[in-house]
Amino acid sequence: MAAASTRRALLGTTLAAVALIGRRRRAAATEQIKIRDLYRTNTEFSERAVALQGQRIEIPGFMAPPLKPDAAFFVLTKRPMAVCPFCDNAVDWPADIVLVLMREQQEWVYFNRPILVSGVLELGVAVDQSTGFVSKVRLVDARYELVG
């Protein structure tokens, strides 16, 4: 890979470094699933993911830099992805990412701080009318908290 640290930045958005995220009490019965367990193959959902459709669940991960500062959504990744060291553009984003549509805007966290997102799981290809963003997995009505 290239030595230059600035090459291949996927998103140039700058972030407020550490957000002051209020910690909330977690609902005891909320199921938690890892991003990697959403898929059976890289193009097929797992049985568990299908069973959790429409339910409020929690997914741990990392916040990729938001596309714009006032966005009401962000991409959740299973490993930190501020700069993809081996990609050229959005087409090369890993398949297993989750689009998080927030209930209300929260302060952003830096790309490598682990977060836990709570939201209602939606599966299937959808195109956001305002951004053109194509997603396969979404958490809607979502909130997140910093966990580390």
Partner 1 sequence: MLGLLSGCATSVDSSKTAAVQAQDSYYAAAQATLQRIAAQRPNTGRAKNVILFVGDGMGVSTVTAARMFEGQMRGVDGESNVLAYEAFPYLALSKTYAHDAQVADSAPTAVAMTTGVKTSNDLIGLDQRGKLEDCETSKTTHVTTLWQMAEQAGLATGVITTARLTHATPSATYAHSASRDWESDADMPPEALSQGCPDIARQLIESNYGDGFELAWGGGRERFLPAETADPEDPSKTGKRKDGRDLTKEWLERFGDGGAYIWNAEQFKALDPAKAKHVLGLFNQSHMQYETDRAKDSAGEPSLAEMTTAAIDMLSSDADGYLLMVEGGRVDHASHESNAYRTLTDAVALNEAVKAAVAKVSTDDTLIIVTADHSHTLTISGYPKRGNPLLGLARGVDGELLMGDDGKPYTTIGFANGPGGLKEGARADLTDVDTTDPDFIQQSLVPLASETHGGEDLGIYAIGPWAHLFQGTVEQNYIFHVMDHASKIGARAAAATAAAPKTN
36 binds partner 1 (CB under 8 A): yes
CA dist list (Å): 96 to 25, 27, 90, 105, 124: 28, 25, 13, 24, 13
Q: Measured in whole angstroms, how far is the alpha carbon of residue 21 from the centre of its chain?
A: 16
26 binds partner 1 (CB under 8 A): no
39 binds partner 1 (CB under 8 A): yes
22 binds partner 1 (CB under 8 A): no
Q: φ and ψ at 47, to 5 degrees?
A: -60, -40
| Binding residue (CB under 8 A) for partner 1 from 49, 52, 75, 82 | 82
| Binding residue (CB under 8 A) for partner 1 from 24, 88, 105, 131 | 88
83 binds partner 1 (CB under 8 A): yes
SS3 75: strand
Q: Could you tell me the smallest distance in angstroms from the CB atom of residue 103 to partner 1?
A: 26
